[in-house]
Amino acid sequence: MEVTFEKVQEALSFVIEPDLKKDIISLNLVSNIEFQDGTIRFDLKISNPAMHNRKRMEEACEHHLKRVIGQSIKVEANVSAMPKAHERAPEHRTMLPNLKHIIAIASGKGGVGKSTVAANFAAGLAQKGYKVGLVDADIYGPSVPAMFDVSKEKPSTETIDGKEYIKPVENYGVKMLSIGFFSTPDQAVVWRGPMATKALTQLFGDANWGELDFMIVDLPPGTGDVHLTLVQQIPLSGAVVVSTPQEIALVDVRKALGMFSLPQINVPVLGLVENMAYFTPEELPNNKYYIFGEGGAKDLAERMSINYLGEIPLVQSIREAGDVGRPAVLQGDSLQAKAFNQVIDNTLKALNIKV
Protein backbone atom coordinates (compact mmCIF):
# COMPACT_ATOMS: atom_id res chain seq x y z
CA MET A 1 0.00 0.00 0.00
CA GLU A 2 1.23 3.48 -0.83
CA VAL A 3 2.17 5.44 2.28
CA THR A 4 0.50 8.86 2.31
CA PHE A 5 0.17 11.61 4.89
CA GLU A 6 -3.58 10.96 5.04
CA LYS A 7 -3.08 7.23 5.67
CA VAL A 8 -0.63 7.92 8.51
CA GLN A 9 -3.09 10.34 10.10
CA GLU A 10 -5.92 7.83 9.66
CA ALA A 11 -3.92 5.13 11.43
CA LEU A 12 -2.83 7.39 14.28
CA SER A 13 -6.40 8.60 14.82
CA PHE A 14 -7.03 5.24 16.49
CA VAL A 15 -4.46 5.99 19.20
CA ILE A 16 -6.03 7.48 22.33
CA GLU A 17 -4.08 9.74 24.71
CA PRO A 18 -4.86 7.99 28.02
CA ASP A 19 -5.16 11.12 30.17
CA LEU A 20 -6.97 13.34 27.68
CA LYS A 21 -9.35 10.58 26.49
CA LYS A 22 -9.18 11.69 22.85
CA ASP A 23 -7.21 10.52 19.84
CA ILE A 24 -3.79 12.06 19.25
CA ILE A 25 -4.71 13.42 15.81
CA SER A 26 -7.76 15.44 16.88
CA LEU A 27 -5.71 16.78 19.79
CA ASN A 28 -2.99 17.93 17.36
CA LEU A 29 -0.32 16.05 19.31
CA VAL A 30 1.36 14.63 16.17
CA SER A 31 3.71 16.72 14.05
CA ASN A 32 6.58 16.48 11.54
CA ILE A 33 5.31 13.30 9.82
CA GLU A 34 7.68 11.95 7.18
CA PHE A 35 8.23 8.66 5.30
CA GLN A 36 11.65 7.69 4.05
CA ASP A 37 13.46 4.39 3.36
CA GLY A 38 10.51 2.33 4.59
CA THR A 39 10.31 4.17 7.93
CA ILE A 40 7.53 6.45 9.20
CA ARG A 41 8.87 9.12 11.55
CA PHE A 42 6.91 11.69 13.56
CA ASP A 43 6.91 13.71 16.79
CA LEU A 44 4.35 12.96 19.47
CA LYS A 45 3.44 14.94 22.61
CA ILE A 46 1.89 13.11 25.57
CA SER A 47 0.73 14.26 29.00
CA ASN A 48 2.61 11.64 31.02
CA PRO A 49 6.21 11.21 29.82
CA ALA A 50 7.05 8.35 32.20
CA MET A 51 8.98 5.53 30.54
CA HIS A 52 6.21 2.94 30.78
CA ASN A 53 3.64 5.34 29.34
CA ARG A 54 5.93 6.47 26.53
CA LYS A 55 6.59 2.82 25.60
CA ARG A 56 2.89 2.03 25.62
CA MET A 57 2.15 4.96 23.28
CA GLU A 58 4.97 3.96 20.90
CA GLU A 59 3.59 0.42 20.75
CA ALA A 60 0.03 1.68 20.12
CA CYS A 61 1.21 3.91 17.27
CA GLU A 62 3.22 1.11 15.69
CA HIS A 63 0.32 -1.34 15.99
CA HIS A 64 -2.20 0.91 14.23
CA LEU A 65 0.23 2.07 11.55
CA LYS A 66 1.09 -1.52 10.62
CA ARG A 67 -2.58 -2.51 10.76
CA VAL A 68 -3.68 0.25 8.37
CA ILE A 69 -0.60 0.58 6.11
CA GLY A 70 1.19 -2.76 6.27
CA GLN A 71 3.39 -4.95 8.46
CA SER A 72 6.56 -4.23 6.49
CA ILE A 73 6.90 -0.55 7.52
CA LYS A 74 9.09 0.60 10.40
CA VAL A 75 7.99 3.24 12.92
CA GLU A 76 10.09 5.80 14.78
CA ALA A 77 8.14 8.02 17.17
CA ASN A 78 9.88 10.88 18.96
CA VAL A 79 7.79 11.05 22.13
CA SER A 80 8.08 13.98 24.54
CA ALA A 81 6.08 15.65 27.31
CA MET A 82 3.34 18.19 26.71
CA PRO A 83 3.69 21.62 28.32
CA LYS A 84 2.67 21.94 31.97
CA ALA A 85 -1.04 22.37 32.74
CA HIS A 86 -1.06 26.18 32.78
CA GLU A 87 0.83 26.30 29.47
CA ARG A 88 -1.50 24.01 27.54
CA ALA A 89 -4.01 25.08 24.98
CA PRO A 90 -7.58 24.62 26.27
CA GLU A 91 -8.24 21.62 24.01
CA HIS A 92 -5.33 19.75 25.63
CA ARG A 93 -6.60 20.08 29.19
CA THR A 94 -7.86 17.06 31.08
CA MET A 95 -10.23 19.32 33.03
CA LEU A 96 -12.17 22.42 31.98
CA PRO A 97 -11.25 22.29 28.27
CA ASN A 98 -13.79 24.99 27.33
CA LEU A 99 -12.15 27.68 29.47
CA LYS A 100 -9.66 30.14 28.04
CA HIS A 101 -8.14 31.45 31.29
CA ILE A 102 -8.26 30.22 34.88
CA ILE A 103 -7.02 32.68 37.51
CA ALA A 104 -6.53 31.83 41.19
CA ILE A 105 -6.99 34.58 43.78
CA ALA A 106 -4.77 33.75 46.75
CA SER A 107 -3.46 35.23 49.99
CA GLY A 108 -0.83 34.28 52.52
CA LYS A 109 -3.24 34.75 55.42
CA GLY A 110 -6.91 35.30 56.13
CA GLY A 111 -8.57 38.64 56.71
CA VAL A 112 -6.90 40.58 53.89
CA GLY A 113 -9.99 40.75 51.65
CA LYS A 114 -9.11 37.98 49.22
CA SER A 115 -12.71 36.88 48.68
CA THR A 116 -13.81 40.50 48.23
CA VAL A 117 -11.19 40.92 45.52
CA ALA A 118 -12.21 37.62 43.89
CA ALA A 119 -15.90 38.55 43.84
CA ASN A 120 -15.25 42.01 42.40
CA PHE A 121 -12.75 40.57 39.92
CA ALA A 122 -15.38 38.17 38.57
CA ALA A 123 -18.19 40.74 38.50
CA GLY A 124 -15.90 43.32 36.88
CA LEU A 125 -14.89 40.94 34.10
CA ALA A 126 -18.55 40.08 33.45
CA GLN A 127 -19.35 43.81 33.32
CA LYS A 128 -16.72 44.17 30.58
CA GLY A 129 -18.58 41.58 28.49
CA TYR A 130 -16.58 38.44 29.25
CA LYS A 131 -18.14 35.06 30.02
CA VAL A 132 -17.10 34.41 33.63
CA GLY A 133 -17.24 31.61 36.18
CA LEU A 134 -16.31 31.74 39.87
CA VAL A 135 -15.46 28.81 42.13
CA ASP A 136 -15.43 29.47 45.87
CA ALA A 137 -12.66 27.09 46.93
CA ASP A 138 -12.43 28.64 50.40
CA ILE A 139 -14.00 25.51 51.76
CA TYR A 140 -13.98 26.37 55.48
CA GLY A 141 -15.21 29.95 55.04
CA PRO A 142 -17.29 30.15 51.84
CA SER A 143 -18.50 33.71 51.27
CA VAL A 144 -19.30 33.92 47.54
CA PRO A 145 -23.03 33.09 47.94
CA ALA A 146 -23.48 36.05 50.31
CA MET A 147 -21.37 38.42 48.20
CA PHE A 148 -23.55 37.73 45.15
CA ASP A 149 -26.88 37.69 47.03
CA VAL A 150 -27.58 34.04 46.19
CA SER A 151 -27.29 32.49 49.67
CA LYS A 152 -30.75 30.95 49.39
CA GLU A 153 -30.10 29.46 45.94
CA LYS A 154 -29.35 25.78 45.40
CA PRO A 155 -27.56 24.51 42.27
CA SER A 156 -29.73 22.27 40.11
CA THR A 157 -28.57 19.35 37.98
CA GLU A 158 -28.88 18.64 34.28
CA THR A 159 -28.22 15.56 32.18
CA ILE A 160 -25.92 15.81 29.15
CA ASP A 161 -25.13 12.74 27.02
CA GLY A 162 -26.39 10.48 29.79
CA LYS A 163 -24.24 12.05 32.52
CA GLU A 164 -25.55 14.25 35.31
CA TYR A 165 -23.85 17.61 35.86
CA ILE A 166 -24.20 20.38 38.44
CA LYS A 167 -25.66 23.58 36.98
CA PRO A 168 -23.92 26.64 38.48
CA VAL A 169 -25.91 29.43 40.11
CA GLU A 170 -25.74 32.75 38.19
CA ASN A 171 -25.99 36.43 39.11
CA TYR A 172 -24.56 39.67 37.63
CA GLY A 173 -23.42 37.62 34.63
CA VAL A 174 -21.21 35.35 36.75
CA LYS A 175 -21.71 31.58 36.98
CA MET A 176 -20.65 30.33 40.41
CA LEU A 177 -20.34 27.30 42.64
CA SER A 178 -19.42 27.14 46.31
CA ILE A 179 -19.43 24.63 49.13
CA GLY A 180 -21.66 27.24 50.78
CA PHE A 181 -24.50 26.21 48.48
CA PHE A 182 -24.45 22.71 49.95
CA SER A 183 -24.44 23.63 53.66
CA THR A 184 -26.43 25.93 55.94
CA PRO A 185 -24.88 29.19 57.22
CA ASP A 186 -24.51 27.81 60.76
CA GLN A 187 -23.15 24.42 59.64
CA ALA A 188 -19.40 23.95 60.14
CA VAL A 189 -17.51 22.13 57.38
CA VAL A 190 -15.26 19.72 59.29
CA TRP A 191 -13.35 17.84 56.59
CA ARG A 192 -9.85 16.50 56.33
CA GLY A 193 -7.70 17.52 53.35
CA PRO A 194 -8.46 14.60 50.98
CA MET A 195 -12.21 14.94 51.52
CA ALA A 196 -12.06 18.69 50.94
CA THR A 197 -10.04 18.44 47.74
CA LYS A 198 -12.31 15.73 46.37
CA ALA A 199 -15.36 17.92 46.94
CA LEU A 200 -13.69 20.91 45.30
CA THR A 201 -12.55 18.87 42.32
CA GLN A 202 -16.20 17.95 41.75
CA LEU A 203 -17.11 21.65 41.58
CA PHE A 204 -14.74 21.93 38.63
CA GLY A 205 -15.08 18.60 36.85
CA ASP A 206 -18.70 17.62 37.54
CA ALA A 207 -20.30 20.95 36.66
CA ASN A 208 -21.59 22.20 33.32
CA TRP A 209 -19.66 25.47 33.05
CA GLY A 210 -20.11 25.76 29.30
CA GLU A 211 -17.71 27.99 27.39
CA LEU A 212 -16.05 30.66 29.54
CA ASP A 213 -13.48 33.35 28.90
CA PHE A 214 -12.41 33.37 32.55
CA MET A 215 -12.73 31.14 35.58
CA ILE A 216 -11.86 32.87 38.88
CA VAL A 217 -10.89 30.57 41.75
CA ASP A 218 -11.11 31.98 45.29
CA LEU A 219 -8.50 29.84 47.07
CA PRO A 220 -8.47 29.28 50.84
CA PRO A 221 -6.02 31.50 52.73
CA GLY A 222 -2.57 30.10 53.48
CA THR A 223 -0.57 27.35 51.79
CA GLY A 224 -2.13 24.02 52.80
CA ASP A 225 -2.63 20.70 51.07
CA VAL A 226 -5.89 21.92 49.51
CA HIS A 227 -3.85 24.48 47.56
CA LEU A 228 -1.30 21.89 46.49
CA THR A 229 -3.91 19.50 45.10
CA LEU A 230 -5.98 22.20 43.41
CA VAL A 231 -3.18 24.03 41.65
CA GLN A 232 -1.74 20.74 40.42
CA GLN A 233 -5.06 19.48 39.02
CA ILE A 234 -6.57 22.72 37.70
CA PRO A 235 -4.79 24.19 34.65
CA LEU A 236 -4.23 27.68 36.03
CA SER A 237 -3.24 30.54 33.74
CA GLY A 238 -1.79 32.33 36.74
CA ALA A 239 -2.35 33.55 40.28
CA VAL A 240 -3.17 36.94 41.77
CA VAL A 241 -1.99 37.37 45.37
CA VAL A 242 -3.82 39.75 47.73
CA SER A 243 -2.24 41.46 50.73
CA THR A 244 -2.66 44.40 53.07
CA PRO A 245 0.23 46.85 53.50
CA GLN A 246 1.48 45.90 56.98
CA GLU A 247 4.64 43.85 57.40
CA ILE A 248 2.98 40.96 59.25
CA ALA A 249 0.77 40.34 56.20
CA LEU A 250 3.69 40.61 53.79
CA VAL A 251 5.56 37.87 55.65
CA ASP A 252 2.75 35.46 54.74
CA VAL A 253 2.57 36.80 51.20
CA ARG A 254 6.17 35.69 50.65
CA LYS A 255 5.09 32.16 51.63
CA ALA A 256 2.25 32.22 49.10
CA LEU A 257 4.59 33.47 46.38
CA GLY A 258 7.03 30.72 47.31
CA MET A 259 4.29 28.09 47.02
CA PHE A 260 3.47 29.03 43.43
CA SER A 261 7.15 28.85 42.47
CA LEU A 262 7.61 25.30 43.81
CA PRO A 263 8.70 22.88 41.02
CA GLN A 264 5.65 20.65 41.52
CA ILE A 265 3.32 23.66 41.16
CA ASN A 266 5.16 26.18 38.95
CA VAL A 267 2.22 28.55 38.40
CA PRO A 268 3.04 32.08 37.16
CA VAL A 269 2.15 34.89 39.57
CA LEU A 270 0.35 37.56 37.55
CA GLY A 271 0.84 40.16 40.24
CA LEU A 272 0.16 41.50 43.73
CA VAL A 273 -2.88 43.50 44.88
CA GLU A 274 -2.70 45.79 47.92
CA ASN A 275 -6.09 45.81 49.66
CA MET A 276 -7.13 48.34 52.35
CA ALA A 277 -4.26 50.46 51.09
CA TYR A 278 -5.50 53.77 52.47
CA PHE A 279 -8.55 55.48 53.95
CA THR A 280 -10.15 58.62 52.53
CA PRO A 281 -12.92 60.22 54.60
CA GLU A 282 -16.01 61.21 52.62
CA GLU A 283 -15.80 64.75 53.94
CA LEU A 284 -12.08 65.02 52.97
CA PRO A 285 -11.92 63.42 49.50
CA ASN A 286 -8.39 64.67 48.80
CA ASN A 287 -6.88 63.16 51.96
CA LYS A 288 -5.34 59.69 52.21
CA TYR A 289 -4.62 58.07 55.58
CA TYR A 290 -2.40 54.99 55.45
CA ILE A 291 -3.80 53.18 58.47
CA PHE A 292 -1.98 49.87 57.87
CA GLY A 293 1.24 51.38 56.50
CA GLU A 294 2.07 52.81 53.11
CA GLY A 295 3.08 50.92 49.98
CA GLY A 296 4.18 47.68 51.64
CA ALA A 297 2.83 45.39 48.92
CA LYS A 298 4.05 47.70 46.17
CA ASP A 299 7.58 47.67 47.61
CA LEU A 300 7.49 43.87 47.92
CA ALA A 301 6.37 43.51 44.29
CA GLU A 302 9.27 45.68 43.14
CA ARG A 303 11.79 43.75 45.25
CA MET A 304 10.54 40.39 43.92
CA SER A 305 10.19 41.62 40.31
CA ILE A 306 6.49 40.82 40.00
CA ASN A 307 3.66 42.99 38.72
CA TYR A 308 1.99 45.43 41.09
CA LEU A 309 -1.63 45.27 39.93
CA GLY A 310 -3.01 48.14 41.98
CA GLU A 311 -4.36 49.27 45.34
CA ILE A 312 -7.88 49.02 46.74
CA PRO A 313 -8.86 51.73 49.24
CA LEU A 314 -10.44 51.10 52.62
CA VAL A 315 -13.95 52.28 51.79
CA GLN A 316 -17.07 51.57 53.81
CA SER A 317 -19.21 50.96 50.73
CA ILE A 318 -17.00 47.99 49.70
CA ARG A 319 -17.93 46.25 52.94
CA GLU A 320 -21.58 47.29 52.59
CA ALA A 321 -21.67 46.06 48.99
CA GLY A 322 -20.36 42.67 50.09
CA ASP A 323 -22.94 42.46 52.86
CA VAL A 324 -25.90 43.21 50.58
CA GLY A 325 -24.60 40.97 47.79
CA ARG A 326 -23.77 43.46 45.04
CA PRO A 327 -20.01 43.77 44.35
CA ALA A 328 -18.62 47.31 44.64
CA VAL A 329 -17.10 47.17 41.15
CA LEU A 330 -20.66 47.61 39.84
CA GLN A 331 -20.97 51.04 41.54
CA GLY A 332 -20.55 53.10 38.39
CA ASP A 333 -17.81 55.71 38.41
CA SER A 334 -17.01 55.49 42.13
CA LEU A 335 -13.50 55.46 43.63
CA GLN A 336 -13.78 51.79 44.55
CA ALA A 337 -15.13 50.71 41.15
CA LYS A 338 -12.23 52.50 39.43
CA ALA A 339 -9.74 50.79 41.75
CA PHE A 340 -11.09 47.31 41.04
CA ASN A 341 -11.23 47.96 37.31
CA GLN A 342 -7.61 49.10 37.32
CA VAL A 343 -6.59 45.83 39.00
CA ILE A 344 -8.58 43.87 36.41
CA ASP A 345 -7.09 45.80 33.48
CA ASN A 346 -3.54 45.32 34.78
CA THR A 347 -4.18 41.59 35.20
CA LEU A 348 -5.45 41.33 31.62
CA LYS A 349 -2.29 43.06 30.45
CA ALA A 350 -0.23 40.53 32.43
CA LEU A 351 -2.03 37.83 30.42
CA ASN A 352 -1.23 39.69 27.18
CA ILE A 353 -4.90 40.47 26.63
CA LYS A 354 -5.65 43.79 24.99
CA VAL A 355 -7.58 46.14 27.27
**What is the percentage of the chain residues whose pLDDT exceeds 70?**
87
Determine the average pLDDT of the residues in 205-223: 87
**The predicted structure's pLDDT at residue 191:** 58
For residue 233, give the H/E element and its range: helix 225-233
**Which residues 6+ apart lie within 8 Å of 342 measured at CB?**
309, 310
- Residue 338: closest CA among 308, 299, 311, 301: 311
**The predicted structure's pLDDT at residue 227:** 66
**Count of alpha carbons within 13 Å of 181, Cβ hemisphere only?**
25
**The predicted structure's pLDDT at residue 95:** 60
Query: What residue spans define the domains of the chain?
Result: 5-82, 90-350
**Count of alpha carbons within 13 Å of 263, Cβ hemisphere only?**
0
**The predicted structure's pLDDT at residue 266:** 75
Instruction: Please give the residue that has the higher pLDDT: either 40 or 52.
Output: 40
- Residue 170: pLDDT band (50, 70, 90) is very high
How large is the C-alpha radius of gyration of the chain? 24
Pairing of strands 308-311, 269-274: parallel
Question: In angstroms, how far is CA 77 from the centroid of its own chain?
Answer: 33
**Domain 90-350 belongs in CATH node 3.40.50.460:** no
Strand, helix or coil at 326? coil
Determine the average pLDDT of the residues in 237-247: 88
* Mean of per-residue pLDDT scores for the chain: 85
Q: What are the φ/ψ torsions at residue 188 (nearest 5 degrees)?
A: -75, 140
Give the lowest-confidence range in 12-16, 82-86, 106-110, 170-174: 82-86
Is the sign of the CA dihedral 146, 148, 153, 158 positive or negative?
negative
The three state secondary structure string of 254-321 is HHHHHHHCCCCCCCCEEEEEECCCCECCCCCCCCCECCCCCCHHHHHHHHCCCCEEEECCCCHHHHHH
For residue 183, give the H/E element and its range: none
Q: Is 90 exceeded by the pLDDT of residue 220?
A: no
**The predicted structure's pLDDT at residue 103:** 94
In angstroms, the CA 265 to CA 228 distance is: 7
- Residue 263: pLDDT band (50, 70, 90) is low
In angstroms, the CA 41 to CA 49 distance is: 19
* pTM for this entry: 0.71
Per-residue pLDDT reduced to its tens digit, 188-199: 565 555 666 677
**The predicted structure's pLDDT at residue 94:** 53
Question: In angstroms, how far is CA 210 from the centroid of its own chain?
Answer: 15
- Residue 275: closest CA among 312, 317, 302: 312
Sheet containing 169-171: order of strands: 169-171, 174-178, 132-136, 212-218, 99-107, 238-243, 269-274, 308-311
In angstroms, the CA 174 to CA 227 distance is: 23
- Residue 108: closest CA among 240, 237, 218, 254: 254
Give the lowest-confidence range in 52-61, 141-150, 191-200, 327-336: 191-200
β-partners of residue 23 are 16
In angstroms, the CA 218 to CA 120 distance is: 11
Strand, helix or coil at 193? helix
In angstroms, the CA 66 to CA 18 distance is: 21
60-to-64, 78, 91, 186 alpha-carbon distances in Å: 6, 14, 22, 54
Determine the average pLDDT of the residues in 41-46: 91
Per-residue pLDDT reduced to its tens digit, 4-31: 888 999 999 999 988 777 888 888 889 8
The beta strands (E) that lie in the chain are given as 16-17, 22-23, 30-36, 39-46, 74-81, 99-107, 132-136, 156-160, 163-167, 169-171, 174-178, 212-218, 238-243, 269-274, 308-311
**What number does CATH give the domain 5-82?**
3.30.300.130
